[in-house]
């Protein structure tokens, strides 16, 4: 406790001498002041008239000030009277003596009167102020009410004229964004429904002389006898708005923002149980919207995103390559993870991903029975510990409708995921080039994809909105002629106009960096089901197709059109022949191993075969009895690496053919050896290596 605080505590309550006077302190100040002046004046033979003159001046001054601040007459009279009465008593007391019982008693009576009058005038002033505020608010309300009444009367007449329905408007609410207003109306008795008004949206908009791009749309009200009419007066869809620069955390349960409505408010997609379908012709902004969706998934703390794009993986590469190439780092300098968890750009990789998804769904059904019983639910509780897997399949609807044999195999797996995995937290987002019968003919898609988006961009061919949004009326392609604009409907929000944000390439990089440490990891039960197919998804041979376009064809000795030199991956290849791309990829995998450890490898294959010849090394002398010959061989490689050391990827490649050892398994061994002192980790990030303790700097040799 400070000295000042100690002093205040010991000296009693602290008085605020700068505070204004209240009724009690004001009366006390006035009476004590009058008594002091009267006593001093009587002792010094002061002329009594001076006190009276001072009182008159005080009364006049307070009256002038009160008039300037517009105090009530009662307040002005009270303050002037207090000055004059106090001055009169002082004048009398100076003449007859202030120390008599008559003088003291009358002074006390005057003090009580001044306090009561001051309190009364203060309450009166407060009441006047409150009444003035209330009157101002009533005036504003009357003005707004008059405007609302005018709007209501206008639309009652318009709907009667256009729709031949007489409604009664019970409320008019202006949108906070200033882009329009909503009317809450009661439908007349006799069976009229809101659909009749919705069907006349175009005619109502024209009758109201709304600007191009603005509409008057009807939707169900609080009950079947009510209707909500949303009237847009400012066309926000013609404006290009970039993706919000605030990249804070999101959750699957609170909704993922996909764009904004005509009232400029965000629209959320709830995908815990729903799949999604996005259609849009070339040039409508569909790819941009896919990136916006991936941005929302990257920000979520309980979603892992898997992407299938057989068009060279273009939808997912911007979310992978910046991290793969080491082009960005987190604020703390650590390497970042890709913005998506898995990317498939080839048929084989896509099939591997879908088969893995099916295994994960089935394993979750078996492995989480106890959790479901404890939670008393049949829906797997999704969280950061058990994340939902969102499969984003670009042009996936075309895959389902394709007659190609390979595509039919993919289609079967996609439909199996959709059919069996809802409760276990695997959902899909499919895109298509148009809202046609071939795309929407699949019953599974129509039943499960309740979140639907139609990006029109003014394109009319292949845009059958009645098939895309059955039951919605008054939707016309020409209402959304702008790139990125269209219609979106969800189980929580009827189909209506919306627009997707424009997401820029630099924003994708910013989101990757900002969300790297936010991505969840696959839960153990799912990881065991996923197996090596998931663990090794970033291996060189699995990601070589991502790097083909970066190969430098002008390099000396490179053949025209040649891609990556995959032979450089073999353990017998000299180090100097490893391409820069493969070296960077190796570093990236080691970063993933060292920093994140996304999933354990549950299928490590062991063998009883003897380890390869190691020049007579006695491994038992170096470390205790190993659990398997593969570990003995790995330790021999670590020792043979000398002072330069080696990494998990190099050891795994050397042992893969003979022992089937994966990189993730070697990472576990190395961590154990570092813990028990067998090995030492040297360097951080991409420069991290593991050195046997015999060769580690500053470590004593164990002979």
**What is the 8-class DSSP label of residue 686?**
G
C-alpha span between 448 and 396 (Å, rounded): 14
Residue scoring higher pLDDT (325 or 373)? 373
Whether pLDDT at 475 is above 70 = yes
Predicted local distance difference test score (pLDDT) of residue 666: 83
User: If pLDDT is split at 50, 70 and 90, which confidence band does 593 have?
Assistant: low
Whether pLDDT at 512 is above 60 = yes
Closest CA to 490 of 294, 273, 302: 273
**Exposed, middle or buried: residue 241 (CB in 10 Å: 0-12, 13-18, 19+)?**
middle
Which domains, and CATH codes, for the chain? 21-134 (no CATH), 164-234 (3.30.780), 238-244+269-525 (3.40.50.300), 538-551+568-692 (no CATH)
* Helix intervals (H) in 15-170: 23-44, 49-68, 73-96, 101-163
Q: What is the mean pLDDT of the chain?
A: 78
Predicted local distance difference test score (pLDDT) of residue 268: 94
User: If pLDDT is split at 50, 70 and 90, which confidence band does 396 have?
Assistant: confident
Closest CA to 480 of 494, 460, 467, 497: 497
C-alpha span between 211 and 221 (Å, rounded): 25
Model pTM? Answer: 0.60
Whether pLDDT at 611 is above 90 = no
Highest mean predicted confidence (pLDDT) among 329-333, 395-399, 503-507: 503-507
Q: Average pLDDT of 274-299?
A: 93
Predicted local distance difference test score (pLDDT) of residue 685: 61
CA atoms within 13 A of residue 12's CA, in its CB half-sphere:
1
Whether pLDDT at 592 is above 70 = no
The residue length of the chain stands at 703
C-alpha span between 170 and 225 (Å, rounded): 12
CB atoms within 10 A of CB 427: 24
Closest CA to 242 of 514, 519, 515, 508: 508
Q: Average pLDDT of 183-200?
A: 88
Whether pLDDT at 426 is above 50 = yes
- Which residue is it, tokens 């990827």? 649
Cα distances (Å, whole numbers) of residue 531 to 338, 341, 352, 382, 556: 20, 15, 11, 21, 41
């Amino acid at each position: 406790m400070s000295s000042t605080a100690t002093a205040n505590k010991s000296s009693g309550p602290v008085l605020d001498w700068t505070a204004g006077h209240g009724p009690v302190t004001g009366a006390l100040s006035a009476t004590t002041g009058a008594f002091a002046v009267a006593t001093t004046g009587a002792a010094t033979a002061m002329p009594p008239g001076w006190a009276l003159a001072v009182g008159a001046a005080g009364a006049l001054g307070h009256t002038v000030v009160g008039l300037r601040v517009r105090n009530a007459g009662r307040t002005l009279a009270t303050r002037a009277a207090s000055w004059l009465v106090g001055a009169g008593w002082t004048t009398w007391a100076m003449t007859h003596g202030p120390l008599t019982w008559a003088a003291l008693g009358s002074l006390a009576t005057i003090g009580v009167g001044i306090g009561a009058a001051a309190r009364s005038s203060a309450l009166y002033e407060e009441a006047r102020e409150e009444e003035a505020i209330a009157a101002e608010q009533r005036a504003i309300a009357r003005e707004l009410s008059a405007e609302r009444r005018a709007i209501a009367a206008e639309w009652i007449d318009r709907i009667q004229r256009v729709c031949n329905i007489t409604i009664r408007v019970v409320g008019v609410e202006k949108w906070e964004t200033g882009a329009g207003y909503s009317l809450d109306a009661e439908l007349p008795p006799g069976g009229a429904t809101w659909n009749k008004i919705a069907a006349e949206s175009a005619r109502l908009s024209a009758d109201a002389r709304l600007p191009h791009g603005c509409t008057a749309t009807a939707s169900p009200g609080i009950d079947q006898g009510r209707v909500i009419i949303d009237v847009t007066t400012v066309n926000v869809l013609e404006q290009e708005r970039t993706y919000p620069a605030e990249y804070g955390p999101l959750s699957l349960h609170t909704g993922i923002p996909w764009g904004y409505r005509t009232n400029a408010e965000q629209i959320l997609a709830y995908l815990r149980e729903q799949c999604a379908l996005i259609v849009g012709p070339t040039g409508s902004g569909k790819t941009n919207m896919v990136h916006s969706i991936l941005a929302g998934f990257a920000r979520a703390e309980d979603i892992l995103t898997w992407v299938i794009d057989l068009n060279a993986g273009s939808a997912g590469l911007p979310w992978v390559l910046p991290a793969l190439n080491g082009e960005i780092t987190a604020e703390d300098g650590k390497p970042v993870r890709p913005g998506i968890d898995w990317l498939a750009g080839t048929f084989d990789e896509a099939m591997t991903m879908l088969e893995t998804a099916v295994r994960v769904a089935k394993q979750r059904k078996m492995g989480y029975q106890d959790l479901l019983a404890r939670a008393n639910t049949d829906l797997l509780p999704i969280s950061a510990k058990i994340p939902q897997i969102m499969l984003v399949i670009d042009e996936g609807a075309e895959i389902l409708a394709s007659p190609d044999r390979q595509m039919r195999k993919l289609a079967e797996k996609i439909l199996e995921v959709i059919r069996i995995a809802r409760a276990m937290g695997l959902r899909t987002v499919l895109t298509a080039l148009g809202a046609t019968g071939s795309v929407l003919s699949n019953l599974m898609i129509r039943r499960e994809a309740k979140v639907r988006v139609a990006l029109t961009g003014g394109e009319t061919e292949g845009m059958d909105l009645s098939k895309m949004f059955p039951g919605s009326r008054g939707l016309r392609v020409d209402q959304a002629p702008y790139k990125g604009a269209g219609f979106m409907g969800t189980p929580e929000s009827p189909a209506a106009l919306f627009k997707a944000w424009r997401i820029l390439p630099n924003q994708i990089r910013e989101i990757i960096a900002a969300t790297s440490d936010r991505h969840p990891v696959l839960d153990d039960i799912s990881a065991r089901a996923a197996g090596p197919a998931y663990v090794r998804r970033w291996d060189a041979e699995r990601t070589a197709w991502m790097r083909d376009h970066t190969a430098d064809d002008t390099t000396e000795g490179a053949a025209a059109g040649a891609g990556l030199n995959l032979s450089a991956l073999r353990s017998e290849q000299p180090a100097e022949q490893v391409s820069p791309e493969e070296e960077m990829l190796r570093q990236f995998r080691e970063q993933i191993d060292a920093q994140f450890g996304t999933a354990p490898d549950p299928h490590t294959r062991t063998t009883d075969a003897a380890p390869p010849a190691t020049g007579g090394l006695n491994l038992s002398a170096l470390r205790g009895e190993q659990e398997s010959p593969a570990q003995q061989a790995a330790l021999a490689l670590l020792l043979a690496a000398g002072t330069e050391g080696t990494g998990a990827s190099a050891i795994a490649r050397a042992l893969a053919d003979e022992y089937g050892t994966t990189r993730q398994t070697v990472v576990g061994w190395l961590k154990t050896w570092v813990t028990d002192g067998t090995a030492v980790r040297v360097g951080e990030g991409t420069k991290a290596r593991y050195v046997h303790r015999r060769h580690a700097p500053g470590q004593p040799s164990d002979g």
